[in-house]
Chains A and B, each alone.
Chain A
Amino acid sequence: GENVEQHPSTLSVQEGDSAVIKCTYSDSASNYFPWYKQELGKRPQLIIDIRSNVGEKKDQRIAVTLNKTAKHFSLHITETQPEDSAVYFCAPPPLMNYGGSQGNLIFGKGTKLSVKP
């Protein structure tokens, strides 16, 4: 099955700095790479995702980059703000197809990002 690891487990940055979180995975057949953000006491929310045919995707201050050869993908947050403080999870799904619905997401253990004003 898919083995997912995130680094670092905690990250503290000053407001305005950049933050990078890395996720490694084991299933070379994985082809979908999402990042979820979970604020304290709230639901996980998808913030950005990328497919294996693309190396990088940007959405305003956040971006995801993919290195399929090395089997890792990273979340980049620029110009961090206090509201970016949350736990971030990568969640690549194993490649399982059943009844037209792809396999479920395997979540990493999360990275707690703290942005200090």
Chain B
Amino acid sequence: DAGVTQSPTHLIKTRGQQVTLRCSPKSGHDTVSWYQQALGQGPQFIFQYYEEEERQRGNFPDRFSGHQFPNYSSELNVNALLLGDSALYLCASKTSTLSREKLFFGSGTQLSVL
């Protein structure tokens, strides 16, 4: 049983560019959330996708957008990258039914913006 998988593991971009990160949830999970973790900080909630729609959103600008596909996988897109977007981006999945609060995290994508 594969856990949450993310790609790529590392990415280097320059300011102003756009980036797409990908996530496949744990088997049996239908809800995907994205978190940003700056160095030395706790993960910060970006948004959550369920039934292919954005359901909740944290305090992040519109430059951050996402998508969920019918197979529950998800993408995070960030436009007009800023230096401050450099962080570890974590995808987490859960089920909307039993034990629905339990989040399982992927290993993350380390994004560096130069």
A interface residue numbers (CB < 8 A to B): 32, 34, 42-46, 49, 89, 91, 93, 96, 98-110
Task: Provide the main secondary structure of the chain A interface.
Answer: loop
Cα–Cα, bound, A103→B33 (Å): 10
User: Does the CB pair A101–B55 fall under 8 Å?
Assistant: yes
With A42-B107, A43-B106, A46-B103 already in contact, the answer to whether A100 and B97 are too (CB < 8 A) is: yes
Cα–Cα, bound, A106→B44 (Å): 7
User: Does the CB pair A44–B48 fall under 8 Å?
Assistant: no
Which residues of chain B in 86-114 are interfacial with respect to chain A, using CB atoms and an 8 Å cutoff? 90, 94, 96-97, 100-108
Which residues does chain B contribute within 8 Å of A42, judged by CB atoms? Answer: 107
Cα–Cα, bound, A117→B79 (Å): 46
With A34-B101, A43-B108 already in contact, the answer to whether A104 and B48 are too (CB < 8 A) is: yes
Which residues of chain B in 42-88 are interfacial with respect to chain A, using CB atoms and an 8 Å cutoff? 42-45, 48, 50-51, 53, 55-56, 58
User: Does the CB pair B55–A89 fall under 8 Å?
Assistant: no
- New contact pairs (6) apart from A89-B42, A98-B56, A106-B45, CB-CB < 8 Å: A34-B102, A44-B43, A101-B55, A102-B100, A104-B56, A107-B44
